[in-house]
């Protein structure tokens, strides 16, 4: 009798885990967050490199399929910062936002983009699928809205004219950088042994 396959989400960020659960809800997968004690140092200099590092490490340590993303905010006026250091720009979301706003004081160029790289690795730690997504916007002077997480309240998306902190979750799920990356990933995901019936023992991964 077949059963769903497990896909470990290589993140401890509850906001990200929830978005993955929502986006992948239609797939025959059992999603599970990585163990809290399993930490991965993000030493890559690009979002894709960090996503690859996390997915491969978690997959090899646990011997399971793993999905990881690395995402952040890129602001041209700040030379691309905070970039891959987006989560390390302060101790809390509030501190990160305030630092960003301080650094943009006096800047006429408020353009920004959210970037997301997503990678799936097999139980041997080999990369089997990857994609990148982008969402264009600008940084507002004052946080607006209480939805989302991270820099969402100060990132105003181009097409809606609203910050991610103001957007309804179902709207954000359609236009976000993570949504864009996942749409590119879907065709690759469907071709993976991960999606085969679990009792088929595809790729040597027997239940």
What pTM was estimated for this model as a whole? 0.85
The pLDDT profile of the chain, 207 residues, written as one tens digit per residue, is 345 688 999 987 777 788 888 888 888 888 888 988 888 888 899 999 999 999 999 999 999 999 999 999 999 999 999 999 998 999 999 999 999 999 999 999 999 999 999 999 999 999 999 999 999 999 999 999 999 889 999 999 999 999 999 999 889 889 999 999 999 999 999 889 887 644 444 343 433
- 């993140």: which residue's tokens? 11
CB atoms within 10 A of CB 115: 24
Task: Please give the pLDDT value at position 196.
Answer: 60
| Nearest CA-CA partner of 154 in 137, 169, 177 | 137
| Nearest CA-CA partner of 104 in 84, 76, 72, 85 | 76
Contact (CB, 8 A) for 112 and 73: yes
Catalytic residues, which ones?
A: 70
Contact (CB, 8 A) for 202 and 193: yes
| Nearest CA-CA partner of 157 in 173, 178, 135 | 135
Q: How far is CA 175 from CA 155, 169, 181, in A?
A: 13, 10, 10
Q: In what order do the strands lie in the sheet with 127-139?
A: 29-33, 5-9, 66-74, 111-121, 127-139, 155-157
Task: Please give the pLDDT value at position 48.
Answer: 97
How many angstroms separate the CA atoms of 24 and 105, rounded?
39
CATH code 3.90.950.10 for 5-204: yes
């Amino acid at each position: 009798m077949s059963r769903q396959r497990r896909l470990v989400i290589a993140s401890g960020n509850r906001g990200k885990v929830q978005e993955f659960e929502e986006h992948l809800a239609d797939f025959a997968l059992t999603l599970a967050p990585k163990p809290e004690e399993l930490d991965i140092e993000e030493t890559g200099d690009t979002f894709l490199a960090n996503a690859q590092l996390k997915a491969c490490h978690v997959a090899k340590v646990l011997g399971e399929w793993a999905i990881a993303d690395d995402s952040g905010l890129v602001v041209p006026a700040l030379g691309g910062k905070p970039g891959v250091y987006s989560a390390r720009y302060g101790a809390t979301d509030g501190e990160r936002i305030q630092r960003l706003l301080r650094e943009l004081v006096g800047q006429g160029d408020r353009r920004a983009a959210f970037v997301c790289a997503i990678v799936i690795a097999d139980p041997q730690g080999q990369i089997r699928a990857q994609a990148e997504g982008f969402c264009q916007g600008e940084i507002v002077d004052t946080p607006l809205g209480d939805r989302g997480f991270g820099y969402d309240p100060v990132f105003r998306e181009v097409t809606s004219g609203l910050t991610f902190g103001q957007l309804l979750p179902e709207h954000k799920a359609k236009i976000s950088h993570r949504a864009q990356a996942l749409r590119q990933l879907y065709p690759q995901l469907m071709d993976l042994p991960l999606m085969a019936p679990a009792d088929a023992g595809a790729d040597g991964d027997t239940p």
